[in-house]
Structure formats: structure tokens, C-alpha cells
A and B are shown apart, each in its own frame.
Chain A
Amino acid sequence: MKERYLINARIIDPKNDLDEIGGLIIDSKGLIKAVGKKVANGNIPSTANKIDLKRQVLIPGIVDMRVFVGEPGFEYKENFRTLSDAALSGGVTSVVSMPNTSPVIDNVSMVDFLKRRGRDKSRINIFPSAALTKNTEGKQMTEFGLLKKKGIVAFTDGVKTVQNPQVMARIMNFASQSESLIMQHAEDNILSEGGLINEGEISTRLGLKGIPFLAEKIIVERDLSFLEEYFCRYHISQISSEKTVSVIKKAKNEGKIFTAGVSINNLSLNENDIGDFRTFLKLSPPLRTENDRQSLVEAVSDGTIDVIVSDHKPEDEESKRLTFSQATTGATGVETLLPLALEHFHNKSVKLVKLIASITSNPAKILGINKGSLEKGNEADLCVFDINKPWIVNKDILKSKSKNTPIEDRKLQGQVLKTFVRGEMAFERV
């Protein structure tokens, strides 16, 4: 590969506090050779392979901590190739895949399969997570040490929560030994049993059983209590309510070390969007009130929430063309993560650097992976986007195999133009 010069870009690299007009050099091995204002037209060889980015924004490739791939078992919903295409068109170069496949990713032999398929079929970096408990049943912990050695970056039961407090306490106690990252989907199953949407006026009107915010808060409080006794790397996958934000804020102020994420859906939509039983808006955690949404946005802005994820969960028509209570939860989102997040910059709720950090450097740091920044020597995973470009979401132009976008027809501002993985241009919008 010949050396390449990306010039005349607005470079934002939150990890290195960089926000300036400049360029970036990709060396012959696909690594970042230099970055910043010193890489300018004046001091590069005239024969160099140049790409003029015309003042568009250049950021590290996006790291999405919560993505569901259909492989193995649900290839008809999404496979590695379609996921890769979707991710690249959204500027996402690294994803953490959830273990809720069939069979579940809970043993070492599955990891090899995943890594091989991920490498052969996709062009993005797949960082697989494994189940916290065997078959995500919440009973027997998986082999954290052995799985981690094989390349598992995090442990989570994905859409499920470890309900049994004793099991959870032991998991947190044991995981510290291998320094494994635990990611919890916080939902008390008994409190949320049969629940379909947020418990409130809308659930009363639609006649759907509600999921109280307490179902989330109580698990977060439980786990944070355990964390005092059994310190480990602990991350709350996605939170949805104002009350949980308060719990997290308080715990962080007291000096507890842990991190928290939020789904872009909970940040950009509320329960009113469910309208006339739109099953694409059936999500877990559920969309809550506008008040909850605003407090989540604030929490991203003030750093209470560290990470924004797409919670990309492709579902085929047959899983969604049902009555609301029978339909599966989840929505696609990896392609629209960045543009939807940019709404919060455009409406001045969150600073741009903060937003970018929450989808690049912060997740990379939590996962302990060498991604999400533009440091010299790193693989050149990059995303170039037009921060102002208006466009309208249309499920038919999205590349995911499944069409369950929750924001069909939404007007967005900002679009990914180019995506580089390991120095190669893997996507370019024409």
C-alpha cells in the first residue's frame, strides 16, 4: 500500500484533545503516521497520494459497544457481511457483538468460529463478547479467564440480566481475578414481567402492561452495592430513566469506579413515538418519558453517561409483523448512530467533542482496546462525515439485512462520507 495523505480536514480526536484543521498520513502498513495541522498542503511531497477532505470532519472510526449479529443461528436477520456494510456506511469500524446467538457464545470453541467468520466475512473489527452465564441462564458463570485469553473483550448476558443476587455477587467477585469486564443489562425480570412499554400514561392509554423504571433502578443499585465489596470492571449497558441517572451520578460522586452507557434510541426518542402500536419502537429498555430522555441527554453532556451505543438489533419482518405484545424487541441502528447523535450537537445539548468521545475514545477505553483515537502508530480506522448534510432516513437505502429502523422518515443532519479500516477506504458515499 502506498502512503496516503488525507488533507484539509477538521480533525477531532477527543482522546488527544485535538480539534483543528489539518491532515493525517496513513503509512504503507495502514497505520497512522502523523496527524494534525502540521500535515498541510505546504509540506507534503507533490507526488504524494492526496485526498482533499474539503474541511469535512475526520474522527476515529466509531466503536459501537452493543451490536447484535445474527451469526450463528439467525443469519436471516443479519450476517457478518451485511452487518459490516451497514456499520461502514455509518462510520462504525469496531463493534462489540452480543452473545445472544443460537447457540449462545458461552464457550471457547464458539469464539474461534466467531473470530474466523468475523475476519473472513466482514471488513470491520469484530470484538466478540461472551455470555456471563452458561446459555445466559443466569446460573453458572462462564470461563472468564479462558474466554478472555481467546480474545473476548467483555462478558454480558446481552438482552438478559443475572437475576440471582448470589450468582451476580460471585460473578463480580470472581471476574476481578481475570480483570474481565462485566456488562449488565439492568432489568429486574419480576418487576418487568409481561411489561411491554414504559409504565405511565401511554401504557394506560394503549392498554399495554408497563415496565416500571424501578425494574432498572433496583438492579443498578444492587450491583453498585456489590461493587463496594467485590470490585471489578463493571459497566451498565444501557440506562433509560432519570431515576437511574441520579443513582449513577451519586455513586460516581462518591468515587465508585464503573461506567454506564445509553442507547441512541433512548436518547433520541420517547414513548410517544410508539404511536399506534408501532412494533419497531418496542425496545429494551423501553422508551420512556420526554423528561427521562432529557435527563439522559444531560447525563451524556455532564459525563454521568460514558458511552452511546446503537443497540443495533436486526429483526426480520416475521418477528415484528405481530401484535405489540407478541412482537420481538429491538431496532437496527448501527448506520444511523452518528447522524442521530449529531442531533444533540445541532440542538446545542451536547458539545461535539463530548459526543464523539462517547462513541470513540470512551468505549475503547472501557473495553481496553487500542481503538477510538488517532494516535500515531494506531491502525488507521477513520470516519469522515459532513456535519451538516441533510437527509431523510429510508429503510430501503439502509444496508442492514433487516429493515426495522425506529426512525423511518426522520430528517437527519450529518452524513458519513468515507470510512477507513486499517488504512483502506472501506466505504465511500457516492
Chain B
Amino acid sequence: MAIIKKLKAVKIEQNHLLGIQDISFSQISEILKQAKTFITLNKSDSKKTDILRGKTQINLFFEPSTRTQSSFELAGKRLGADVMSMNIVNSAIKKGETLIDTAMTLNAMHPDIIVIRHQDSGAPNLLSQKVNCAVINAGDGRREHPTQALLDALTIINRRGKVEGLKIAICGDILHSRVARSNIYLMNMLGAEVNVIAPKTLLPHSIERLGVKAFTDMKKGLENCDIVMMLRLQNERMHGSFLPSAREYYEYFGLTPDKLKKAKKDALIMHPGPMNRGVEIDTNLADDINRSVIREQVELGVAVRMACLKIFCKRN
């Protein structure tokens, strides 16, 4: 008996938020639970707390971003942290500095948390090996965008009570999408059934191995779905080798009232933004307050990021 007691399971949990793949179910629950408390706070008059007072948060963005970066910035400020945002798109890296050198430089300033967005998949993993503080992935290459998936889950829970048992369709450029990957992992973990819908050229190899059903017929993929997540079609991919034209894409993969009829009557429409109206989504649907929760996603994004900052900052 004594031996068994000694061997009581030690939970090994990540100190960083690198991806949904890398964190545990209990960490996810903790983040979502915490985020709920911040939703109310964010609606109140006095939005500022001192939970992270004295802590330093660095936003390290190697790729241009408006919503994610401002969301993280606001989240940090509302928690009382000192927030510094660095846009490296046109900074040291251009002078030949490597990610590791940048990391070491920043590390010397003793930050408590670094939020990174990088065009290379795995960059946050590399960074996390070299710094002494928590690292939060704000999107790496086409690998993961965990806080986006978490805010999507929170939005669904806010509207539907839970994710478990729901049928979720993710439509669009799955191949290049980190949002799709993070959502596939997260929604699966939370007990949803996930369909992905895309033309064959925009479906990643072996995508079914991630636990989804793949459809190239949007109407079939949308059948009986509770949630329809649309992804942004990057304009630069529209021409050339992946697709014939925006027109053809919209015809088969654009979300229109007609196609949406296949989903459940009260199905919610989500989009991580920024949207291309008339390319992947009908403009009236995007603005339909009864169906579209796109603005709510942005609102809850701040709450989710506050929760992540608080939880991972504390861990270190």
C-alpha cells in the first residue's frame, strides 16, 4: 500500500501554451472556466485588475496581425501586466538575427510571458526551449493557433452550454489553416464530431487521421451540423494552382443560405476573421445576428487570452 501511495500519479503539464495538442484536458477546462469569469469583468465599468501586476508580457509578432495582437495586448493590460509589443516583421530579423538570438536578448530583460506569432511551424516550440518564461503561441505557420480554438470553444459553450455531442463543420482552406488544426484537436477533445469541408487541393494529406470526416461536397458535409466554422480563403491562393477562381470557389464552397439549409435550423456561423465577403461567405449571412456569432468570437477572445495569460504566467 505504502508503495502505491508513493507512486501516486504526478501530472506532467506543460508550462507553455504551444498548441492544443500539447496541453491536457484539465488545463483546457481550467482555461475555459477561468475565461468565463473574465467575460463579466470585460463588460463591467472597471475592466482593470491587478492579477498580473508587476509582470512583463512581450508580444513578439513576426507576422502582421491586427486582431490577435490587439486582443493579447488588451488582455495583458486588463490583468495589470506591463505589455510590450514588438513587430519583428521589419526589425532585427531583417538584419540577420536568428529567432534564438532574439529570444536570448528578450530573455535577458526578464519577461514573465512571451506571446509569439511566427510564420514557421514549430517556432514557439523552439522559443520555449530557450527562454525562462512562459511562451504562448499566437499562431505558428500552419500548425496551431490554440487561443483561437479556445475562444471558439468558449463561444460555443456560451451559446449552446457545451461542446460535447455537437456536430461541427469546418469549411475552407484546411491545408494552410492553423485555426482548423487547433479546432480539430480541441473540438475532438471536448467530444464533438468534426467534419472538414474543402476542395481536394485544400485538404491536407491524411487529414482523417486527425479524427475528422472529410467532405468535398459542402451540402453533405453540412448535414445536421450545429456549428459552421468558415475559414478565410487567402486571396493569394485563389488563382494559380489551388483553385480555378473565386467565382468557382464561391459556387461550391461559399456559405450561402441555400447550403446552410442542410445544417440544423439553429446552426451558428463562426469565422476567425478577417472575412472575404462574397468569397467564402454570403455577406448577409455574416451579418445575420440570429446566426452569426462572429463578433462574439472577438469579444470572448479577450477573455480567453486573459485566462491563458493568468494561468500560464502563474505556472512559472
Residues of A within 8 A of B (CB): 199-201, 203-210, 276-277, 318, 321-326
Nearest 7 pairs of A and B residues by beta carbon: A207-B143, A277-B122, A207-B121, A323-B120, A201-B206, A204-B204, A207-B142
- Residue B305 is within 8 A (CB to CB) of chain A in the complex: no
Q: Does B245 contact A (CB under 8 A)?
A: no
The reply to whether B98 and A200 contact each other, CB–CB distance below 8 Å, is: no
Option from B122, B142, B209 in Cβ contact (under 8 Å) with A323: B122
Give the nearest-CB partner of A289 in chain B: B206
Q: Is A203 a contact partner of B144 (Cβ separation < 8 A)?
A: no
Q: List residues of chain A with CB within 8 A of the CB of B120.
A: 323-326
- Distance between Cα atoms of A404 and B142 in the complex (Å): 27
Q: How far is the CA of A185 from the CA of B204 in the complex (A)?
A: 27
On whether the beta carbons of B209 and A201 are closer than 8 Å, the reply is: yes
Q: Which residues in B have their C-beta under 8 angstroms from that of A323?
A: 99, 118, 120-123, 126
Interface residues of B in 95-145 (CB under 8 A from A): 98-100, 118, 120-123, 125-126, 140-144
CB-CB under 8 A from B94, the residues of chain A are none
B91 within 8 Å of A by Cβ? no
| Neighbour of B205 across the interface among A204, A276, A322, CB < 8 A | A204
Complex CA–CA separation, A205 to B122 (angstroms): 11
Chain A hits for B206, CB < 8 A: 200-201, 204
| Contact flag A208-B125 (CB < 8 Å), given A200-B205, A201-B209 | no
Q: Indicate if B181 sits at the interface (CB-CB under 8 A).
A: yes
A interface SS class? loop
Select A325's contact among B100, B141, B204, beta carbons within 8 Å.
Answer: B141
In the bound complex, CA of A135 to CA of B208 (Å): 44
For B210, the chain A residues whose CB sits under 8 A away are 201, 204-205
B100 and A207 contacting across the interface, CB-CB below 8 Å: no
Q: Does B28 contact A (CB under 8 A)?
A: no
B143 contacts across to A, CB distance below 8 A: 206-208
A318 cross-chain contacts in B, Cβ below 8 A:
98
A-B contact pairs, 29 of them (CB 8 A): A201-B205, A201-B209, A201-B210, A203-B204, A204-B205, A205-B181, A206-B121, A206-B122, A206-B143, A207-B122, A207-B141, A207-B144, A207-B178, A207-B181, A208-B122, A208-B141, A210-B205, A276-B125, A277-B125, A277-B126, A318-B98, A321-B100, A322-B100, A322-B126, A323-B118, A323-B126, A324-B122, A326-B98, A326-B120
Tally of A-B Cβ pairs under 8 angstroms: 66
| Known contacts A200-B205, A323-B123: A205-B21 contact under CB 8 Å | yes
Known pairs A208-B143, A323-B120, A326-B120 / 15 extra A-B pairs, C-beta < 8 Å? A200-B205, A204-B204, A204-B205, A205-B181, A205-B210, A206-B121, A207-B122, A207-B144, A207-B178, A208-B141, A276-B122, A277-B122, A323-B118, A323-B122, A324-B121
Min CB distance B116 to A, Å, is: 11
A315 to chain B, nearest CB (A): 14
Neighbouring A residues of B144 by C-beta, 8 Å: 207
Determine whether B23 belongs to the interface, using a CB cutoff of 8 Å to chain A. Answer: no
Chain A residues with CB under 8 Å of B140's CB are: 207
Contact A321 B121, CB 8 Å, known A199-B205, A204-B210, A208-B141: no
Q: How long is the Cα–Cα vector from A199 to B209 in the complex, in angstroms?
A: 13
Q: Which residues of A contact B142 (CB under 8 A)?
A: 207, 209
Q: Which residue of A lies closest to B203 (CB)?
A: A204
CB proximity of A126 to chain B, nearest CB, Å: 33
In the complex, what residues of B have CB within 8 A of residue A204's CB?
Answer: 181, 204-207, 209-210
Select from chain B the residue with minimum beta-carbon distance to A202.
B206
The distance in angstroms between the C-alpha atoms of A203 and B210, with both chains bound, is: 12
Q: Complex formed: what's the CA distance from A321 to B101 in Å? A: 10
A322-B209 in contact (CB<8A): no
Kindly list chain B residues whose C-beta atoms are within 8 Å of the C-beta of A201.
Answer: 205-206, 209-210
Instruction: Report A-chain residues with C-beta under 8 Å of the C-beta of B125.
Output: 276-277
Asked whether A322 and B121 contact (CB < 8 A) given A201-B206, A204-B205, A207-B142, the answer is no
Q: CA–CA, A318 to B96, complex, Å?
A: 12
Given contacts A201-B209, A277-B126, contact A208 B121 (CB under 8 A): yes
CA distance A324 to B99 in the complex (A): 11
Closest to A210 in B: B205
B residues near A200, Cβ cutoff 8 Å: 205-206
Minimum C-beta distance from B94 to chain A (A): 14
When distances are taken between beta carbons in the complex, the residues of chain A under 8 Å from B205 are: 199-201, 203-204, 210
Considering the complex, give the chain A residue whose CB is closest to the CB of B207: A204
Chain A residues with CB below 8 A from B118, complex form: 323
Bound CA–CA A191/B129 (angstroms): 33
* Chain B residue at minimum C-beta to C-beta distance from A208: B121
Q: How far is the CA of A414 from the CA of B118 in the complex (A)?
A: 43
Closest to A326 in B: B120
Which residues, 266 to 306 on B, are CB-close (under 8 Å) to A? none
Task: Report how far A129 CA is from B120 CA in the complex, Å.
Answer: 35
Q: Complex Cα distance A203/B121, Å?
A: 10
Measured CA separation A422–B144 after assembly (Å): 56
Give the contacts of B252-267 with A (CB-CB under 8 A).
Answer: none
Whole-angstrom distance from the CB of B139 to the nearest CB of chain A?
Answer: 10
Report the Cα distance A259→B45, complex, angstroms.
Answer: 76
B contact residues around A321 at 8 Å (CB) = 98, 100
Q: Please tell me if the beta carbons of B207 and A322 are within 8 angstroms of each other in the complex.
A: no
Name the distance in Å between B62's Cβ and chain A's nearest Cβ. 10
* Closest residue of A by beta carbon distance from B62: A323
Of residues 14 through 61 on chain B, the ones whose CB sits less than 8 Å from some CB of chain A are: 21
Least CB distance from A57 to B in Å reads: 41
A140→B122 CA distance, assembly (Å):
39
Residue of A nearest to B128 (CB): A276
CA distance A325 to B62 in the complex (A): 14
Q: How far is the CB of B236 from chain A (nearest CB, A)?
A: 14
Nearest chain B CB to A212 CB, angstrom units: 8
- The residue in chain A whose Cβ has the minimal distance to the Cβ of B100 is A321
Nearest B residue to A278 via CB reads: B122
Interface centre among B98, B121, B141 (most CB of A within 10 A): B121
* Cβ–Cβ < 8 Å partners of A322 in chain B: 98-100, 126
